[in-house]
Amino acid sequence: MAPILTPNHGAGLLAQELRRARARRDLSRPELAHKIGRSLATVQRAEAGRIRPPWPVIRDIASVCGLDLDTAEDLWRKAGRPGRTRRTEAPLLSLVRTPGDLAAVLRRVWEDNGAPSLRTMEARAERLARTYAPLSRMSAWRIRERKQTLSSLNQLYAYLTACDVAEEDFPAWAQAWRRAGHHEERPPRPTAQSGGPRRATSFERAAALMRQAGLLPCEPFPGRHVPWAARCRSCGKLSRFKFSQVLEGTVCPVCHHPHAVMDAGPEEG
């Protein structure tokens, strides 16, 4: 268990308020971690008072523990480390328009997370490497230092995972990534056995089929074989599903509710 510090500075005051709010709800740290969908280590870091946790973590804890969000945000803003180098100037995520904008917000989210070490970033990304992509220390460093652009949407998700960003925030990041001029890999060219050219599945049709299968898409259609963030209508949890697998029939990884398209009809185009 992380040591409890005397709340004589911004991060300590924030941590103290988080611990009090959790105590009022009579929740243990593991119970709180489960309710906000994050690791126990994340809750421990937030309550330790050593660094300022990222805002999405504070927001989720405040929501579960009944802490006023305005109060939580005010404490969070005051919890910045005094004497540190000025944080990177970056636009709001919703205002990202260029690769330079995206590079700046990627640097800033690392700073807001407490500037985790490359070892920590690699370890965090490794936990979900099969879902997204591995993230080596060198790649994390090059992205953080704005010396490398993201190679794919999955690499973006791996970097965000390394910065402890909540999955529910990924769709907004994906939109920013696309606005900055990045695109998914093109679908494979049709082969001679395919019976002629086929157009890529449109977002509208793909989203309609996902809803028919009991899934609510939370981001633009990334492609047939790329994990797509969607909420299960049965349990309400956010997971990732490949559209191609949904067409064949799959299950929710949380509640195991089946998801399948009853009649997809002919391929579009």
One domain for residues 101 and 172: yes
57 located within any domain: yes
Q: Which of 20, 49, 78 is the last residue of a domain?
A: 78
By CB atoms closer than 10 A (0-12, 13-18, 19+), residue 85 is exposed
* Domain assignment present for 2: no
Helix and strand totals (H; E) in the chain: 12, 5
Say if CB 110 and CB 144 are below 8 A apart: yes
- Residues 6+ positions from 208 with CB-CB distance below 8 Å: none
Tens digits of residue pLDDT in 232-244:
888 888 788 888 8
Do 106 and 70 have their domain in common?
Answer: no
pLDDT of 205: 83
CATH of the domain at 56: 1.10.260.40
Domain boundary among 144, 179, 214: 179
Rounded average pLDDT over 3-17? 68
Do 225 and 155 sit in the same domain of this protein? no
Task: Identify whether 165 is part of a domain.
Answer: yes
Range of the domain at 250: 200-259
Any domain includes 4: no
CA pair distance 101, 197, nearest whole angstrom: 37
Structural domain contains residue 108 = yes
Residue range 15-45, pLDDT digits in tens: 889 999 999 999 999 999 999 988 888 898 8
Q: Is residue 24 part of a domain?
A: yes
Position 111 scores a pLDDT of 86
Whether pLDDT at 5 is above 50: no
Q: Is the domain of 168 the same as that of 239? A: no
Say yes or no: 71 and 114 in one domain. no
Report pLDDT for 65: 92
Asked if residue 67 and residue 27 are part of one domain, the reply reads: yes
Q: Are residues 175 and 210 located together in one domain of the fold?
A: no
Give yes or no: residues 207 and 242 share one domain.
yes
How many domains are contained in the chain? Answer: 3
My answer on whether 98 and 175 are in the same domain is yes
First-to-last alpha carbon distance for the chain, in angstroms, is: 58
Residue 133 lies inside a defined structural domain of this protein: yes
| pLDDT tens figures, 187-225 | 444 444 444 444 445 667 888 888 888 888 877 777 888
Mean pLDDT of 157-173: 88
1 lies in some domain? no
- CB neighbour class for 37 (10 Å; exposed up to 12, middle 13-18, buried from 19): middle
What digits encode the pLDDT tens for the residues 74-113?
Answer: 888 777 654 445 778 889 888 999 999 999 999 999 988 8
